Structure 1
């Protein structure tokens, strides 16, 4: 019988899909207020791989990512997804001219993978709790991010992968410090 152990803490990240820079800045500020200081902010990438959000959010969308300093328990991902959905609703009230001013996609990075939270079921998604599923987005090897058959098209962009590999490097350093008792 295998020994049951606590989960290794993981690195909280969040994707932000938006159309206007002021919305992006407000979203980053609200996420930092909710989840603590950021240790990495990506550039804004064109989100032109899908028209899925056009009706709700408009066109010429962009996406950026934020990584947070504090490590989390991966079991908290469903709660965090509900919290980001609540933040999206707050933004709907702040920017009444747009049906959906922002899309917030939380997830976490661990040594071997990037996992995103979703409310949409599919064959490769694992149900967690409270209507939230885990979506395995990328796998990591020593110096590389590997896509999968179901990886969202925009995650194939080299800029995304460079960002996540840098966040992974920070995360691995944090894990070393955690194991050495230098991080709580």
Structure 2
């Protein structure tokens, strides 16, 4: 636990949704310029959990997660969300997003996602940004909440989160 008044450190990540790989490449460049080198990147997977993004992004929608090597002070997640919104706008075409970038952080105890959407289970941070704990670590695994996004409950996503959590734990222990 950090000293009183200080936020803890976590592994910053971004969940990327896109239909065209060129936008992934551009987003990756902008994200690494802001947040540093990539520690782990997931394989590309088909994302078919909703039609919500199809009109903006196109089809088929693909998902990729990138985890950054530099640790983040978890108290800065609202600013991080605002930076990713700015990157989305930079990569927009005629005001239409071509990539959706959802940042989050992983600690030993949880996975947290910031959002601009207020819902009953979300806590207001600042500057129009809310946060939700989407997974909690109990025993030896991540457990979802009632409102956890479906793709965060998939085996391949949970395995990736476990892998990154282990690397994070080793980093904290100096291993």
Show the 5 A alignment for 1:73-112. 73-92=73-92, 96=93, 99-112=96-109
Give the match for residue 64 of structure 2.
64
- How far 1:78 sits from its partner (Å)? 0.6
SS of structure 2 residue aligned to 1:124: coil
The total of aligned residue pairs comes to 173
Deviation by residue 1:109-143 (Cα, 9 ceiling, x = unmatched): 01011001100011111110100011211112343
In 2, the alpha carbon distance for the partners of 1:87 and 1:17 equals: 13
In 1, the alpha carbon distance for the partners of 2:164 and 2:156 equals: 12
Give the match for residue 53 of structure 1.
53
Give the match for residue 133 of structure 1.
130
In 1, the alpha carbon distance for the partners of 2:4 and 2:166 equals: 27
Give the match for residue 42 of structure 1.
42
Q: Tell me if the contact between 2:89 and 2:95 (Cα under 8 Å) persists in the aligned partners.
A: no
In 1, the alpha carbon distance for the partners of 2:45 and 2:145 equals: 21
Choose from 137, 143, 146 the match for 2:143. Answer: 146
In 2, the alpha carbon distance for the partners of 1:161 and 1:98 equals: 34
5+ unaligned residues in a row in structure 1: which ranges? none
Deviation by residue 1:75-109 (Cα, 9 ceiling, x = unmatched): 110111111111011101xxx37821100101100
Give the match for residue 114 of structure 1.
111
- How far 1:11 sits from its partner (Å)? 0.9
SS of structure 1 residue aligned to 2:91: helix
Q: Normalization by structure 2: what TM-score?
A: 0.92
SS of structure 1 residue aligned to 2:15: strand
Q: Who wins on radius of gyration, i.e. which is larger? A: 1
